[in-house]
Amino acid sequence: MPCIQKIDGISASLSLIGFLVSLYYVQDTDVKMWENNMIFSTSSNLTAAADVLGTVLFETCGSAFTRDESGPYTMHQHGQDWGDNNFTGTSIAVDTGRSYKPWVMLHWILVCSCLFQGARYVAFCEHDDAREDILFQYVPSSGPDFWRWVEYALTSPLQIIIIAGSFYIRETAQLITLAGLQGALVLLGYVIELEIQTICLQKVAAWHGQYQEKSRVTVGIFVAQCRLTFLLLCSYVCHAIIWAILISKFQMQAAAIRDCQNPTHMPDEIIIIIVLECVLFTLFGLVLTIQAVQVSLASHLDAVMVQSSWTNVSGWYSVLSLSAKLVLEWGFIALLTSSDAQNSE
| Per-domain boundaries in the chain | 37-94, 143-338
The pLDDT score that the predictor gives to residue 337 is 67
CA distance 312 to 4: 9
The pLDDT score that the predictor gives to residue 287 is 95
Of 180, 120, 123, 183, nearest in space to 148 by CA: 120
CA distance 316 to 313: 5
The pLDDT score that the predictor gives to residue 203 is 84
The pLDDT score that the predictor gives to residue 344 is 38
- Count CB atoms within 10 A of the CB of residue 37: 13
Contact 327, 276 (CB under 8 A): yes
CA distance 185 to 188: 5
pLDDT along the chain (345 residues), means of 10: 86 90 78 89 87 86 64 81 83 89 90 93 78 74 91 94 91 94 95 94 74 65 91 96 95 87 81 92 95 89 88 91 87 70 42
Of 157, 149, 180, 173, nearest in space to 108 by CA: 157
The pLDDT score that the predictor gives to residue 343 is 44
The pLDDT score that the predictor gives to residue 70 is 62
- Count CB atoms within 10 A of the CB of residue 343: 7
Q: What are phi and psi of 93, to 5 degrees?
A: -90, 125
The pLDDT score that the predictor gives to residue 176 is 95
The pLDDT score that the predictor gives to residue 342 is 46
Longest dimension (CA), the chain: 82
Q: Give the CA count within 13 Å in the CB-facing half-sphere of 177.
A: 12
- The reported pTM is 0.88
Q: What are phi and psi of 188, to 5 degrees?
A: -65, -35
> CA 335, 178, 101 angle in degrees (round to 5)?
45
Residues in the chain, how many?
Answer: 345
The pLDDT score that the predictor gives to residue 146 is 92
